[in-house]
Amino acid sequence: MRGSIFPLRVLLGVFVIALLVLGLPPASQASTNTNTTESTSTTANTAASASSTESTTSANTATDAPPKTPESGTAPIFIGVSGFSFEDLDPRTTPNLWKMMKSAQIGTITPRSVHSSSCPVDGWLGVGSGRRAADEPREECRQSASPLDGWVADWDVYRQVARGDNYDALLGGLSESVPTIKAFGSGAAIAAASPNGHVTGWTPAGDDLADKATQASEGGELSLIDLGNTTADGYSLKNLDKRVGTILAATGWSDGNAAQGLSSGKSPVIFSSIADGANDGSSMQATMMLQPGGAPGLLTSSSTRQPGLVQVPDIAPTLVELSGGEPMANAAGAPMTSDTGGSWESRYQAVLDRQVAVKTQNELSTWFFPVVAALMIGLLVLAWFLRKNHRDLVHSGAYRLGTVFAAMPVSTYLVNTVPWERATNPDIAMLGALVGWSLILGAIALLGPWRGHKLGPMLFICVVTVLVLAYDVITGSQLQMSTLLGEPLLIASRFYGIGNSALALYCCALLLAVAGFASLTTRPIVRILIVTVPVLVSSVILAAPGLGTKFGSVPTLIIGVAYLVLAAASIRFSLKRMGLTVGIAGFVMLAVLFIDWLRPADQRTHFGRFFDSIISGEALSVLARKIGMNIDILTQSWMTLVLPLIIIGVFWLALDPQRFSLQGMTDSYTRIPLLRAGMISLAILLGVGTIINDSGIVVPAVGILFLVPVLVHLETFDPNQTADNGGQTKLISSV
């Protein structure tokens, strides 16, 4: 009877999981969009009151439209400011910019530079180099001075900082690719300067700015315009809008009537806020691009691969391409392109949603996980004190809560399947979606046909976690953007592929899943296949350029799973065999880097660029930066300093449960033969992930966030639970 029921339950479980995953919206879809000017304006006002600073896509059929070559003899005009977001747009205060937004290709831009917030000088250095670059750390942002006799003020300071910050910015790169540049304003002079700090063709941004910039554009000269820092005291957005309006009129985009829409102008015009403008915090900024013959849409680039999202290093390659210059060899960004189609309301809503998502994630992440950790510790302490007089209540409560808490990490990604950014209180909506998904998954895990198996509910959670994250990687990483365990776009660490937190969660869920399923059979060859096939498939998904694009995923997985494979094959573990595994992982990763390096330079991912840095001898600076980031993360607070002790303690409990009288865990290792080997492999995997990923201690921290609820669930599993089958009550024993 048992043998006939269990396969049926497995099939039912797979069916439920498939329905759950297939029910997720494709990455190219978005939530319902507003369709009127009034509704969008209301959304803008609501967003402005709720936030001042990402996760949505265009709801329209999109085609990738590269920047079009401008008309013969014309060159782009770039208008740069600081501290301007889409929430600053208003049809009454900024009518010209509002009109531009409705007709342009638009996108939020992450202003991240070397420091946590960016000053105007940082933004102009990024425009001129195509990489992250910054001024020296200062309490207040430097007011850039006008060039003196053609030399940029403080250039030696900027160059010295660039040499020491490990971001490999080559100042003056834009001027080498586009030798004919007209710069208007002191900030623009920084971007237009040569590598030695000399700038030609510079003038102040005077009243005749529009005419001079238009003449330069028609003569084939790139124009860079600095219109100041909107966060500065006394700055007038009305005056900014007026100056932009004169430029639009001079280039043929507007007849000067703000009530009329834009026509097709003669020159490409880009308006972008390239920096936060102050040191008191960071937020997403606004970017808009007009191209002759170009259709409105959402900006993106191959460096972000997210609709409606670009970064400051993308600006320089875009200007070079529109100017017909030589491609920048050292740029970290890529030319901006556009996903075209749809109404201006939907595009505007998309960028507002992204700004709200980024701000909400940034605010919640500062306290959410310490609170969750405190809650888990509090519940464990309460269970300890109630264990004698209320044993049944403690066991049943911990068993269920363990399942729900184990579902919480993957639920942090599933919140992006609902439009929580559009709620009046997006932080409450995001947390509500998180709780809702955790309860839904927890209920399915506890009530599904697998509930009688010792590891059944946890296997369900593990499989769902793996499938959701794999789905997200394959479809563009939309679920990872601006969620609590996802990618913080203000840091600009990763825009596509799989992030370090998601990698840690994926690997933990995968190892526990294959260990559990492999324990269902005693045949070594079947066990080996159950363990290795999912790991190999995962390696392709996580490491392939354009999918996971994660350098550390292959060695992390291969080295981590080695112990479990040996246990599945009943082969004794040895340091020699582990060394062989490390060598195989290193060889495979080098092969991936080399294959990506063989592609044309402008098509390489960071895999190929890193291999190129190995050849050129610059890889040490990259490694030094990653090591520095790991140290900074570890030492940023007292909580991160005690994390290693907590992690060691959790794995001590997991690997030696008898010492702590954890009878449920001890029984689990007896009933599930490969579970202990899976725990050891998991410890190895998280240790390797800590070393080779630049998030450092965050990797094992995410691992134990998932592992602790699993351990609680296993410790409190009731082997005498019953299940109803065909009207008969039957004892379901663990395999």
The CA distance from 425 to 423, in Å, is 5
Question: Per-residue confidence at 511, pLDDT binned at 50, 70, 90?
Answer: very high
User: CB–CB of 360/327 below 8 Å?
Assistant: no
What is the predicted pLDDT for the residue at 375? 87
Compute the average pLDDT of residues 1-6. Answer: 38
Residue 273 has which token pair? 């806020």
When pLDDT is cut at 50, 70 and 90, the band that residue 66 belongs to is very low
Q: What are phi and psi of 561, to 5 degrees?
A: -85, -10
Nearest to 273 by CA among 187, 204, 362, 354: 187
Residue 82, φ and ψ in degrees, nearest 5: -130, 145
Among the residue ranges 2-11, 167-176, 238-247, 648-657, the one predicted with the least confidence is 2-11
**Structure tokens of 28?**
């190219």
In sequence order, which residues have a C-beta less than 8 Å from that of residue 667 and are 6 or more positions away?
A: 719
- For residue 148, the Cα-to-chain-centroid distance in whole angstroms is 42
Least confident of 113-127, 188-202, 687-701, 702-716: 687-701
pLDDT at position 288, please? 98
**Two structure tokens written together for 522:** 């005693």
Cβ contact 167:622 at 8 Å:
no
DSSP 544: S
Secondary structure element (H or E) that encloses residue 310, with its range: strand 309-311
Mind listing the domains of the chain with CATH numbers?
1-59+342-496 (no CATH), 61-299+332-340 (3.40.720)
Distance CA 599, CA 191 (A): 30
285 three-class SS = strand
Query: Mean pLDDT over residues 232-240, rounded?
Result: 95
**696 band by pLDDT with thresholds 50, 70 and 90:** confident
- pLDDT score recorded for residue 314: 96
* DSSP state for residue 313 in the 8-state scheme: G
What's the rounded Cα separation, in Å, for the pair 268 and 291? 5
Phi-psi sector, 65: left (phi>0), alpha (psi -120 to 50), beta: beta
What is the DSSP-derived secondary structure letter of residue 325?
-
| Amino acid identity at 370 | P
Band the pLDDT of 14: cuts 50, 70, 90.
Answer: very low
Residue type, 123: G
Torsion of CA 675, 679, 685, 687, to 10 degrees: -170
Least confident of 291-300, 482-491, 670-679, 689-698: 689-698
Contact by Cβ (8 Å): 427, 363: yes
Three-class secondary structure of residue 712 per DSSP: helix
Q: Are strands 336-340 and 64-65 parallel, antiparallel or unpaired?
A: antiparallel
Candidates 518, 620, 522, 630; CA nearest to 563 is: 518
Using the predicted structure, report yes or no on whether residue 122 has a pLDDT greater than 70.
yes
Least confident span in 295-309, 589-603, 719-733: 719-733
Give the residue-averaged pLDDT of 323-332: 88
Instruction: State whether residue 379 is helix, strand or coil.
Output: helix
Closest CA to 354 of 43, 695, 80: 43
> Rounded distance, CA 578 to CA 557, Å?
13
At residue 191, the 3 state secondary structure works out as helix
Across 20-24, 36-40, 465-469, the highest mean pLDDT is recorded for 465-469
Amino acid sitting at position 486: G
Query: CA end-to-end span of the chain, whole Å?
Result: 14
